[in-house]
Structures are given as structure tokens and as C-alpha cells.
Structure 1
Amino acid sequence: MTGDGVVIGLDVGTSAVKALALNERGKVLTRVGRSYALSSGPDGSAVQDAGEVIGAALDALDALAAAVPGLPVLALVPSAAMHSLVLLDAAGTVLAPALTWADSRAAATLPDVRARLDPPGSYARTGCPLQAPYHPARLWWVRRTQPELWNRTARFVSLTDLLLHRLTGHGLGGNWATSVGLASTTGLWNLHTGDWDTDILAALGTDAAQLPAVYDAGHEVGRVQTGRLKGVRVLAGSSDGALANVGVDPLRQGQSVFTVGTSGAVRRLAAEPSLDAQARTWSYRLDRATHVSGGAINNGGLLLDWVRRQWYSEVEASAGFRQLWSDAARVPAGADGLTLLPYLTGERSPHWRSDLSATLHGLRLHHDRAHIARAALEAVAFSLKAVWSVGQQERNSALPSVYSTGGLAAEPGWNSLLASTLNVPVQVPNVADASAVGAALLGHTAHTAQALAARGTADPILQPIAAEVEALAETQQRWQTLFVRLYG
């Protein structure tokens, strides 16, 4: 694709949508964001109103288009939050609130669905562990707990699939579309055949006719039918996690990317899938040529916000976080013997256990909130290293550095801690909204990716601190020993 124009990257996230215009020189000309609600309950529900999400996305796109008048828009490319599930009737009407990745209610029916599906075989075919965030457990949960809703459901789509359908104006019986990247995160798509897995679908009482057609990331799925962007090509895009890697590693060199926001993740792009013998991690696709493997943790910024609310509540939020970082910086590696297991909301990789709870161990009179802050930061770093180590074992190789992204990457203290925990240099890319940038790159030429990569050579790199590497290794061993004693 050539021409002096922009590509719009549209990141449809869990709590907000972000749209940006990226020109061919790799410069973000403008960006627009809109937020929406995530409704959760004590039963483990975590749902969203599909109409609210789509309305926010359309509003953001309209505002962005108004901000770049006169510039040709070459394409619109979505970056999609993973694991959302929307139930539609035969007329395309939304039947229930959309399930998000955080909804854990399907865990109750996991023993039943595992009896119907061979967990190791399912993982080997799809790259997705047979766990609550994935569609096999969720579809079975709907079928068993809400049979009337199940019987009314004609189609299963994601929030981004629904948005694409509305944008491109497909009517009744129109061509529903999803991306390879998003399909690969459902647990219903076969990594090896490149299509929906008919055996898994049959075991769940459904078939591929109820799912969207699957298109590669750069494939055109339609054109915008209304508004300021009418006529603009819409590409299939991919998942937000995979595209975040592209945004910070535009030449797709395969470096590990650590991202910490509310939760956390470690991801790596490669030409082949990376499957773990114990199904501790997942392996998805960016597109038909590129795999993305890694794992996610539940308790990242969520844990730090809990520490702030419990021990820094006397000041407003931003001041509380600043004090938390300042306090943690004056405590030596190892938190003077204080150990925190961070499982406020259970855990995904590498344990996949919703029954885990948080524990603070080793408290003594000399400990104060600074030690708790330091122990919490170390717990997040250790959790991510536990996921990263699984991938390193599979690769049996090392890269010169890893990337640090997400909200915590703005804190030098976090990046330094991560470097010393991994004993690997940590590069901090100067890329805001990496998922949206990665999406926009799918609609640009290779020249744009090269321009972004050239800028990355100036990104700061933090080296491991030799005096802390050994102390943190000993502390992580203590942390792991406590986990084994409590949870086996």
C-alpha cells in the first residue's frame, strides 16, 4: 500500500478504545480515546454492554477522522481485546452482556467440559489450555446453566467482530468476519489446519456455521459504509497482545515483550508455535505466518493499586503511587525477608488456579509499608519471570534484551527491578498505545516499520544491577518455596 496518507489503528480494549492515525514515516499524527464500563460481581462475572463498546469505538473514529481532514485514510485496522464472547440471535441481535477475559464463572463447569474434551489433545491442537477464559469452557457453561439462552443463540462472535460487522454494513445473512489472530485465542481454532476445529465444536454441541469466517490480518473484510470514513478499507487486524509486540518490535525480531497494566503478560513472536508439555502457557497467531506465544498473570498493577489503597490511603491516588515507588526504592532487594504471594484474584500462567489467594509472610517489627511496597513489586516481577522461564526452556536460547511496556514501564525503578530479576537488559520503547500502532502498521508498507525500528535504537536500556541479581535470585527461591508449602 502506497501514497501519502495515514492508517488508522483502532485498539478495542477491556476498559477503553483508542484510535490513532499513523503516517508512512511512522509518526502518530493524532489519537483519540473513549472509555466504557466493565461490570463485575461477586459471582465472578465481568461483562460489558456491547452497544456501549461499539458506540464508544464509532465515536472515537468519528473524532479522529475530524482531526485529520484532507489526509487520505488508506485503511482502518482493529486491534482486538482477546476472549470476549457475544451471543447473537438469527437476526444479529445481542442476547446478553458480552463476557470478557476476566469473567471466571465458567470455571464451575471445567471438570465437566474436560471430561468431554481431552485437555492435552485440545491444547496440542489449539494452543489454548482448557481453562475458564477460553470459549470451550464458556460455551459449555452457557449451555449447562442457561439452556434457554443457548437455544436462542445462532452465532458466537467477539466484540470486535460485531464492530467490524456494524462498520462495514453487512445486513442479515452478511459475511461475518474475524481475524486469524483473534480466532486463535478462542480455543476453538486449530493451529495446524488453520480453521475452526470441528471435533471440539461437535463435542460442545455447535459447529463452524455459528462462528465468523476467518481472515488473515491484512485481508480486507469490507469498507466503512457511513460517516466521515465512508469508503475506507477495513482490514481484519489481530489481537491486541500480538499487535502490541509488533508496535514495539516492528521488524518482528522475536524479542520477549513484558507488559504490565492491571494484569501482566509476556509474549514473543516466532515462525513456529511454542507449546508447553504442561500447558502452562499459550500459543496464538498474529497472522497465518507468525505465531505469538507466552502467558498472562492476573495480578500486576491490580496488586500495586491494592497496596496503595490499603497503606497509602491518606493521599490522593497519584501522590500515593509516587510515595509507593519512593518507599520501595529505599528498601534493599529481598524486602528485608518479607515475602508476598500476589494472588488477590487467583492466577493464570503458569499455575492456572483460581483458588490461590494472596499471602504476606515473614512480617517483623521493623517492617513498614515501604517493605510491603517492595515485596509487592518483587512479587509481580517473580510472577512474570515464572512465565518467561517456561518460554526460555522451550527456546533454549537467549536474546540480548527484552522489552518493558505498559503502565509500569513509565517507572525506571520497575524496569531496573525487572532487569535484575531476569538478569537480562531491559529496553523501554518510547511507543504509546503499542497495540494501536501495531495495528496501523498492518496497513502500511515495510518502510514504515523500518522507520519505527530505527527510532527504537535510541530507546533507553537498563542493565541488571550485579549486586541485586543474586539477592533477587535468592528471594525468588524463598518466594517459590513458600508457594510450594502453601499450595503444593
Structure 2
Amino acid sequence: MSTDASYEVHPTQAEPPFVLAIDVGSSSVRALLFDRFARSIQSCHARQSVTFETQTDGAAVINADLLLEVTWNCIDEVLSKANSLVKDIVGVGNCTLVSNILGLDKMGSAITPIFTYADTRGMDDVAILRNQMDENETHQRTGCILHPSYLPVRFHWIRRVHPELWERVSHWMTIGEYMLFKLFGETAVSYSVASWSGMLNRHKLVWDDQFFNLLSIPSGALSKLVDLDVKWCGLRKPFTDRWPGLVNTPWFPAVGDGAAVNVGSGCLDRQCLAITMGTSTAIRVLLDDVPKIPQGLWCYRLDQNASLLGGALSEGGNVLEWLNHIFQMKETTEFESELTKMLPGEHGLTFLPLLAGERSPGWIGSARGIIAGLSLATEARDIYHAGLEALACRIGLVYERVISAIPHDAKVVVSGGVLLHSPLLRQILSDVLGAPISTFPFSEPSSRGISMLVLRSLGIVPDLGTFPCKIDDVVHPDPENHKRYQEIIRRQTELYQQMILEDRT
């Protein structure tokens, strides 16, 4: 699917002022230049890959200084390509992978790697903390459950396993905060990014004193909380020499990447639900308030005025990459065209795609994938088809919980490379949900969202609804297939329950 022309503009047609948007993701760092209408300026972009350092014990970390150097290199490249447009850059914003943390010593040097959301060490600490508090009350207060992705469990694990390191750390911060610290010598964290930590009281918008007391976290160990309109100006050396055109340009605090996707794809209120699938998957909706969070979901923030309700699945494009690797599928386009002729579940398989553990809705980090029903007649395409259906069915479980809090006729908008490039998966997903789905055709919704937020913070536009958002390629569900997928979900749920029972015994 090609990008709609309304989201991109030739440099000679771009309307100033411009915004530099930086997206520090789990697989790459991207930097793009946008004009006042939140259109990406063609050729003014850069991308560099990043990878987690993983180990068999569940570690998934990144070197903080190497990640920042990749980010600086992307900025270098965009500014070089922008040439004379640099003078009209009026703001810099960024979004980052969230639920990450690193520790600095008293000298301001990073003495830990970045512990990412994918680091599953700390599963034992979940059980310990559950015995010390009411998890349901904690969930409603912070928006997060007890899980290794979040800071309460991460901090408990570090204190327990690495007590000397815990004592050496003077300040804990996310990669977005570390970026500001390097650039300006001071830092803060947005309500948005803080809400992904599990340490923010979502009602009072302050750090949660119950966890501070329980975990003996020193006062000042976490950054000051700010909203998205707070800005920093006046770069420090050596950045004044590296980017002279940005010396006095305002920089804004990082926003959670998921919140930025909703903004960039035009899902700004309860009437529009966003589903994104990259390496993993997320289902999100922006709401003014969430009095009670449905079981299995989380509730983060965009800013002090808007909450982000939804769920995240560890499974997504990673499952399809695994299948492609196992079966050496170099080209799936022709493969998928054959599968469109098959009925749901015709392969006879039940696929539980928890290859990377589980987040929403059950949050069993130790869960693993299962394929049941294999026979000598099973072919690679059957397993691939079952994998596509399994992913959609897992999304369906979370979708049902999300729509319990919003109008049932809310529009569903999908984005992300996996869904953009698979018409078959989009049709399967529509059939599973029993709802039409529309496709957001621009491949960088999070970066677009950043540009929109910066333009709002600068007062260049009055609100986020100012920006046009064209959605196309509507897929409609097949009612008969929807019924068939309810049976597949039932079988998948039974298999899941069997897995839990065996794991506990």
C-alpha cells in the first residue's frame, strides 16, 4: 500500500514553520521533518536500526550512549538533507519506546544499560509484590498491573539481585529524559512517559508514594513531572557546534510512542479506536477520563487532560517473522492470495501465538506458544494461515474489553507495517472483530503525531483536530466468518487455560 499524497509534500511545496520529529523505537530510530500541516517533507528523513541485547535469562537491554549516538546521527542526516529549510525549524519533539529505565550515578554517567519493556527478569518479584499489596487497587491507582515491564517489579528485582548497583544509582530516567539531560544538562519526564512506568498515580498525576515507601526509593531519584508544552532552549556543547541551526530551538519532552500513534492517525477521542501492529501489537483509545479500568487493560496518559485506555500484546510481526524464518518464506504475497480461498480454521489447527510471553489480557509473562492439531497432512501454509488467524483472535480478546468502555460503533483504524502490507490479515481482523476497519496509509503515524503535538504546544494550531486525517481502504466483515472465528477463539481460550493449569501444576 502506498502512502497517501496528503501526508507528504515536496520540499519546494512545504509550508513553514517546520518541526523535527524523532522516534526512538524498539527496532529503529527515525527522524523526519514536517511542515505546518503535519506533512512529512520528502527526502528530509533518516532511519537507523537498533537491536536489543538479549540473553536466555530474559534480559533485553540497550546501551544508552550507543542509542543516543544513533539518534544524533539521524538528526545529522535530516539537517543535512533539509539544507536551507533548517532556519524555519521552530520545534523539536520526540516519542520513545516506553517502560524503559536506566540508572545514572552522582556524576551523571549511565551505569546501567536501558532495561526495556521486553526484559522479563523479575517474574519472581511479581509474586513477592502481590503478597505485599492489593493488585486490583494498585491497577486502578496507577493504570498498570504488577509485571516485569513496569518499574515497581523492575526496581524490586534490581534491589534484590543487584543491591550494590541499586545503591550506586543516584537518578533513574528513561531514554527520552537522558536525551534532554545530555542536550541541556537538566531533564524532566512527561506525564505521558511516566504513566507507562507503573509508578504514576494516574488520578493525582504525581509519583506514587505507596511504591516510593514500599521500595525505599530516595526522594529525587525520579525526574520532575511536566506536561507536553514544557520546553527547553539553549543546547550545550558540543551540540551547539554540531547543530548550529538548532541552538535556540525549543525541544519538548518525550511522549509515549503509543499515544503519539493515536494522535498521528487521527484517533483523538472515544469515537475512534487505533490498532497498531509492528513487532508487537497494541489496541488504544483516547478518553477524557477512565473511572474504572477493565480487567486486563492498562490506562496511560497522553497529557494531563487525556487518558489512553488499551492493551498491548507481545505477539505481532514477531510471530510472522518466526514463521517466515522457520519455513524459509521469502515472499508471502502469492502465499496469502491462496489463503484467501480458505475458510476460517479450515486447516484444523489451534495456534496460541505467545512466543514472547503474554501481556494483555492475562499478563502471564512465562506463557509460551502452542500449535495443536498437527498431522502429517499439515503444510507450511496451514500453519502460516493459523498464525494470522491466531494473531487476529488475540486482538479480538482485547478489543472486546476496550469497547466495553466506549461506543460500540467506534471507528477502528489500523496502522503499522504488518497490517499495511497484508490485505489478508486486515480482512481476517475485520471478520474476527465483526467490525469494519480502516487503514491509516502513512507509515510513520507516531512521528506525525509528534509534529502535531509540537505545533499545538507552540500555539501554531489551536487543537489537534485542526489537522486533516484521510483514512481509506475500508474492509468490511463477513458475518459468517465472524461466527466461525468465535469458535476458533473458544478453542484458543481452552488451549490457553490448559497451558495455565499445566504451568501451575
**TM-score class, shorter:** over 0.9
Which secondary structure does the structure 1 equivalent of 2:122 belong to? helix
**Equivalents in 1 of 2:253, 2:99: separation in Å?**
16
Residues 484 and 222 (structure 1), Cα distance of their counterparts in 2 relative to 1, 3 Å cut = same
- Does structure 2 retain, via aligned residues, the 8 Å contact 1:335–1:374? no
The Cα shift of 1:114 comes to: 2.5
- When the two chains are superposed, the root-mean-square deviation of aligned CA atoms in Å is 1.9
Partner of 1:90: 106
- Does structure 2 retain, via aligned residues, the 8 Å contact 1:308–1:324? no
The Cα shift of 1:417 comes to: 1.0
Aligned pairs for 1:161-310 (under 5 A) are 161-167=177-183, 169-170=184-185, 175-225=186-236, 226=240, 227-228=242-243, 229-249=246-266, 251-252=268-269, 254-273=271-290, 275-276=292-293, 278=295, 280-310=296-326
Residues matched between the structures, number? 472
Matched to 1:19, the amino acid is A
Partner of 2:47: 33
The Cα shift of 1:359 comes to: 1.4
The Cα shift of 1:101 comes to: 0.7
The Cα shift of 1:208 comes to: 4.2
Deviations 1:220-268 (A, max 9, x none): 1344342322211001241000101101016545511111111111111
Which secondary structure does the structure 2 equivalent of 1:21 belong to? strand
Partner of 2:488: 475
Which secondary structure does the structure 2 equivalent of 1:431 belong to? coil
TM-score scaled by length of structure 1: 0.92
The Cα shift of 1:155 comes to: 0.5
- Does structure 2 retain, via aligned residues, the 8 Å contact 1:269–1:291? yes
**Equivalents in 1 of 2:486, 2:203: separation in Å?**
38
Residues 130 and 222 (structure 1), Cα distance of their counterparts in 2 relative to 1, 3 Å cut = farther
User: Structure 2 residue aligned with 1:399, among 401, 409, 413?
Assistant: 409
- Does structure 2 retain, via aligned residues, the 8 Å contact 1:17–1:57? yes
Gaps of 5+ in 2: 1-14
Which secondary structure does the structure 2 equivalent of 1:356 belong to? coil
Matched, 1:81 2:97: yes
- Does structure 1 retain, via aligned residues, the 8 Å contact 2:293–2:299? no
**Equivalents in 2 of 1:255, 1:274: separation in Å?**
19
- Does structure 1 retain, via aligned residues, the 8 Å contact 2:267–2:286? no
Residues 222 and 212 (structure 1), Cα distance of their counterparts in 2 relative to 1, 3 Å cut = farther
The Cα shift of 1:413 comes to: 1.1
Residues 208 and 78 (structure 1), Cα distance of their counterparts in 2 relative to 1, 3 Å cut = farther
**Equivalents in 1 of 2:196, 2:211: separation in Å?**
14
- Does structure 1 retain, via aligned residues, the 8 Å contact 2:270–2:410? no
Partner of 1:333: 344
- Does structure 2 retain, via aligned residues, the 8 Å contact 1:243–1:436? yes
Matched, 1:136 2:116: no
Partner of 1:422: 433
Partner of 2:115: 99
User: Structure 2 residue aligned with 1:22, among 29, 34, 53?
Assistant: 34
Residues 250 and 469 (structure 1), Cα distance of their counterparts in 2 relative to 1, 3 Å cut = closer
Structure 1 runs (4+) greater than 3 angstroms displaced: 221-225, 250-254, 274-278, 321-324, 445-452
Deviations 1:332-384 (A, max 9, x none): 21233211111112211101112322111123444311111111001100111
Which secondary structure does the structure 2 equivalent of 1:360 belong to? strand
**Equivalents in 2 of 1:148, 1:134: separation in Å?**
21
Partner of 1:63: 77
- Does structure 2 retain, via aligned residues, the 8 Å contact 1:6–1:22? yes
Deviations 1:76-134 (A, max 9, x none): 01112101110110111101211011000011222222333432222121101111100
**Equivalents in 2 of 1:74, 1:254: separation in Å?**
32
**Equivalents in 2 of 1:335, 1:208: separation in Å?**
59
- Does structure 1 retain, via aligned residues, the 8 Å contact 2:347–2:386? no
Residues 292 and 456 (structure 1), Cα distance of their counterparts in 2 relative to 1, 3 Å cut = same
Residues 391 and 334 (structure 1), Cα distance of their counterparts in 2 relative to 1, 3 Å cut = same
Gaps of 5+ in 1: none
The Cα shift of 1:329 comes to: 2.8
Which secondary structure does the structure 1 equivalent of 2:77 belong to? helix
Residues 335 and 301 (structure 1), Cα distance of their counterparts in 2 relative to 1, 3 Å cut = farther
The Cα shift of 1:404 comes to: 0.9
Which secondary structure does the structure 2 equivalent of 1:78 belong to? strand
Q: Once structures 1 and 2 are overlaid, which stretch shifts more, 472-481 or 59-68?
A: 472-481
- Does structure 1 retain, via aligned residues, the 8 Å contact 2:268–2:286? no
**Equivalents in 2 of 1:64, 1:250: separation in Å?**
28
**Equivalents in 2 of 1:133, 1:290: separation in Å?**
23
Matched, 1:158 2:174: yes
User: Structure 2 residue aligned with 1:48, among 32, 41, 62?
Assistant: 62
**Equivalents in 1 of 2:410, 2:166: separation in Å?**
50
Deviations 1:139-188 (A, max 9, x none): 11111100110110100000111011112x21xxxx32111100011011
Matched, 1:347 2:358: yes
Matched to 2:490, the amino acid is Q
Partner of 2:333: 322
- Does structure 1 retain, via aligned residues, the 8 Å contact 2:142–2:201? yes
- Does structure 2 retain, via aligned residues, the 8 Å contact 1:7–1:75? yes
Which secondary structure does the structure 2 equivalent of 1:182 belong to? helix
Residues 472 and 178 (structure 1), Cα distance of their counterparts in 2 relative to 1, 3 Å cut = same
**Equivalents in 2 of 1:461, 1:291: separation in Å?**
27
The Cα shift of 1:327 comes to: 4.5
Matched to 2:477, the amino acid is P
Deviations 1:271-300 (A, max 9, x none): 01264353x111000000111011111111
Partner of 2:6: none
TM-score scaled by length of structure 2: 0.89
